[in-house]
Amino acid sequence: MDIEELDRRKFIKLGSTGAAVLLSWPFLNACEGLSSKKNESSDPNFEPDLDIDLTAKESQVPFFQGSSTNVWMFEAKLNTGDPNAVQHLDGSYLGPILRVQKGQKLRIRFKNQLPEKSIVHWHGMHVPEKYDGHPKDVIENGETYIYEFEIMNRAGTYWFHPHPHGRTGPQVYNGLAGMLIVSDDEEEKLNLPKGKFDIPIVIQDRAFDEDNQLLYLNRGRMDKMMGFLGNQIFINGRPDKTLSLKSGSIYRLRLLNASNSRFYKLGWSDGTPLTVIGIDGSLLEKPRSMPYMMLGVAERVDIWLDLKDKPKGTELTLKSLSFSAGMMSMGMMGQMRSNLPLGSEYDVLTISLDESGNNSFILPEKLIVFNKIDPSEAINAKNPRTFKFFMQRMQWTINGRTWEETEVAGEEIVKLNTTEIWQLVNSGGGMMGNGGMMGGKGMMGNGGMMNGGMMQMPHPIHIHQVQFNILERDTSDMDPEVWNSVREGFIDDGWQDTVLLMPGMKIKIIMRFEDFKGLFLYHCHNLEHEDMGMMRNYKIE
């Protein structure tokens, strides 16, 4: 908060009880005083293509026999704009699917009707600091926060969710999340499946008590350290995991992993390769066939699904295939923590071809022109900024630091209009360093969770404000058993905002800081880790 604002707030407080208000009132517009901090009023000069009320509130959904489940959800109401831009998901706790085009202007009036503070973040979007949903901008129950920004991102699958510090995990878990789909001219020309052939698929895991109520962190400290795992998969905010599609048709499936900490090794049960056309913030240069795809928390992947040769009545199953996560939960602890252990094989989604149909979409050989950033443009090409993600004194840290609301360390300051390479390292840290005597296959068995005497876990690392390119993925310090079980599931192509950093992995990414100065976040998107403080600010100045 700047001095001016501090004074104004003090003044308002004083003013409401003291006599000063009488003297100064004509000179102080009350609305303006409040809105400067909270963005409570809209800008009359901003002409939105879409103006939406987005209310976070308590609700109930009848998922199962017996009691309805208490959830929190985003409810959207379109004030102005194309009605097709807002799609509601029936019988679900999930927020709307918003469809926008690059260049459009969006006004979102976020209304908090939750019994606690919240703020909305637009994951993957390039927006000014005050519209990024920083934890410092939380609003109370009954307050409104107005976002007004232009869509500057490429065509891709983005999403939105709350971002209050310490409460993101429970708020998302209770149901607060939605998808934001961006299209642009370059994508338009490709004539990809549209409308009812462009299907959002939000994957999450949940657990319930006997009364059908959501269970969260019911194993206490261990759930917080490792991340919460549910024991059943929800698709698009519902427990029935069957999607009914038309035979003879072609679909675009947009998968988002909106789980709190679970990640997936997605593959078709019959062994058919996945045809991947897009990732987080862009399409790929060309379609790519993969035996399976690793989908870390918060990551998105676009899949081309060709049902031309599949007769009506066929069922296809998308599974999470077995892998070694390189952590304790794979072994004995996993069995205790969840009956859907991380890394075990289970069904994610069944696609059933109940009706026949046909369409004529053709998979393009080339998708986008991928102008990958040239490493020589980076001002620190010889000496990348390094961020290590590790545990210290039973706390998840980034370079040994944890969350501070507005602080930045010297190594967290970058300059506007520069390009940088960052090296993200999942390391044991501590005195013994990587490959210490407990590294690799340690005494904990399966995957070896101890490295340098520290616990190691996969961390999905996310950077706000930018879309980056992956330059290099160094796996030489990884446990070969872990790496071999996941190695064909990564994409180092296209524009991304989140990467799954497996234990021992080092990834070099390159990005450009453009347009907006300010404080932005980078953090582990395992929401329990994030809430515990595995999140920091970086500053663009």
Reported as half-sphere exposure (CB side, CA atoms, 13 A), residue 327 has a value of 26
Q: Are 285 and 494 in contact (CB under 8 A)?
A: yes
Sheet holding 418-426, edge to edge: 395-398, 385-392, 418-426, 506-513, 469-474
Asked if 162 and 176 count as a contact pair (C-beta separation under 8 A), the reply is yes
Residue among 12 and 333 whose Cβ is closer to Cu ion: 333
Out of 8, 99, 123, 254, the residue judged to bind ligand C2O by CB under 6 A: 123
- Residues 427 and 32: their CA atoms lie apart, in Å, by 48
Q: Given candidates 8, 167, 241, 529, which one binds Cu ion under the rule CB under 5 A?
A: 529
- Distance of closest approach, residue 481 Cβ to ligand C2O, in angstroms: 30
Rounded to a whole number of angstroms, the minimum distance from the CB of residue 162 to ligand C2O is 10
* Nearest-angstrom CA–CA distance, 491 and 372: 14
Q: Binding partner of residue 298 among ligand C2O, Cu ion, none, CB under 5 to 8 Å per kind?
A: ligand C2O
Least separation in angstroms between residue 121's CB and Cu ion is 5
From the list Cu ion, ligand C2O, none, partner contacted by residue 108 (C-beta under 5 to 8 A by kind): none
Nearer to ligand C2O, 185 or 407 (CB): 407
**Out of Cu ion, ligand C2O, none, which partner does residue 459 contact, by CB within 5 to 8 A per kind?**
Cu ion
Residue 526 binds: one of Cu ion, ligand C2O, none (C-beta under 5 to 8 A by kind): Cu ion
Which residues contact residue 279 at a Cβ distance below 8 angstroms, ignoring those fewer than 6 apart?
156, 299, 300, 301, 302, 491, 493, 494, 495, 496
8 binds, among ligand C2O, Cu ion, none (CB under 5 to 8 A by kind): none
In this structure, how many other beta carbons lie within 10 angstroms of the beta carbon of residue 515? 13
Which of 319/464 has CB closer to ligand C2O? 464
Nearer to ligand C2O, 28 or 152 (CB): 152
Query: Least distance in Å: CB of 479 to ligand C2O?
Result: 28
Nearer to Cu ion, 51 or 412 (CB): 412
Tell me whether residue 63 or residue 396 sits nearer to ligand C2O (CB atom): 396
- Please, which residue, 133 or 326, has the CB nearer to ligand C2O? 133
Q: Nearer Cβ to ligand C2O, position 73 or 463?
A: 463
CA–CA separation, 223 vs 214, rounded Å? 15
What distance in Å separates the CA atoms of residue 309 and residue 447, rounded to the nearest whole number? 40
Instruction: Build a one-symbol-per-residue string for 154-193: x at contacts with ligand C2O by CB under 6 A, - elsewhere.
Output: -------x-x------------------------------
By the rule CB under 5 A, 523 interacts with Cu ion: no
Of 73, 334, 65, 24, the closest CA to residue 178 belongs to: 73
Question: Quick one: what does residue 163 bind among ligand C2O, Cu ion, none, with the CB cut-off 5 to 8 Å set by partner type?
Answer: ligand C2O
- Least distance in angstroms from the C-beta of 525 to Cu ion: 8
Those residues with Cβ within 8 angstroms of residue 505's Cβ, 6 or more apart along the chain or in another chain: 425, 426, 473, 474, 475, 477, 478
Number of Cβ within 10 Å of residue 144's Cβ equals 18
**CB–CB of 452/496 below 8 Å?**
no
Q: Is 121 in the site for ligand C2O (CB under 6 A)?
A: yes
User: Mask of contacts with Cu ion, 436-465, x by CB under 5 A?
Assistant: -----------------------x----x-
- Roughly what angle, to the nearest 10 degrees, separates helices 30-38 and 3-17? 130
Tell me how many residues contact Cu ion (CB under 5 A).
6
- Report yes or no: 169 and 228 within 8 Å, Cβ to Cβ: yes
The binder of 252, among ligand C2O, Cu ion, none, by C-beta within 5 to 8 A per type, is none
In angstroms, the CA 299 to CA 525 distance is: 10
The contacts of residue 442 (CB under 8 Å, 6+ apart) are 448, 449, 450, 451
Edge to edge, the sheet with strand 156-162 lists: 86-87, 97-101, 178-183, 156-162, 120-123
Residue 301 CB, shortest distance to ligand C2O, in Å, is: 16
Quick one: which of 167, 464, 508, 529 contacts ligand C2O (CB under 6 A)? 464
Q: Tokens for 265?
A: 């090794």
Per CB under 6 A, 462 contacts ligand C2O: yes
Residue 526 touches Cu ion, criterion: CB under 5 A: yes
Residue 172 is classified by DSSP as H
Overall residue count recorded for the chain in this entry: 541
Type of residue at 340:
L
Q: Which of residues 464-493 bind Cu ion (CB under 5 A)?
A: 464
Nearer to ligand C2O, 251 or 403 (CB): 403
Residues 318-357 close enough to bind ligand C2O by CB under 6 A: none
3-class SS string, 32-70: HHHHHHHCCCCCCCCCCCEEEEEEEEEEEECCCCCCCEE
36 or 386: CB nearest Cu ion: 386
Burial 294-325 (b: 16+ CB within 10 A, else e): bbbbbbbbbbbbebeebeeeeebbbbbbebbb
Count of positions on this chain that bind ligand C2O (CB under 6 A): 10
CB under 5 to 8 A by kind: which of Cu ion, ligand C2O, none does 523 bind? ligand C2O
Q: Is 459 in the site for ligand C2O (CB under 6 A)?
A: no
206 binds Cu ion (CB under 5 A): no
519-538 positions binding ligand C2O, by CB under 6 A: 521, 523, 525
Interaction residues for ligand C2O, span 287-306 (CB under 6 A)? 298
Which residues contact Cu ion (rule: CB under 5 A)?
Answer: 123, 459, 464, 524, 526, 529
Which residues contact ligand C2O (rule: CB under 6 A)?
Answer: 121, 123, 161, 163, 298, 462, 464, 521, 523, 525
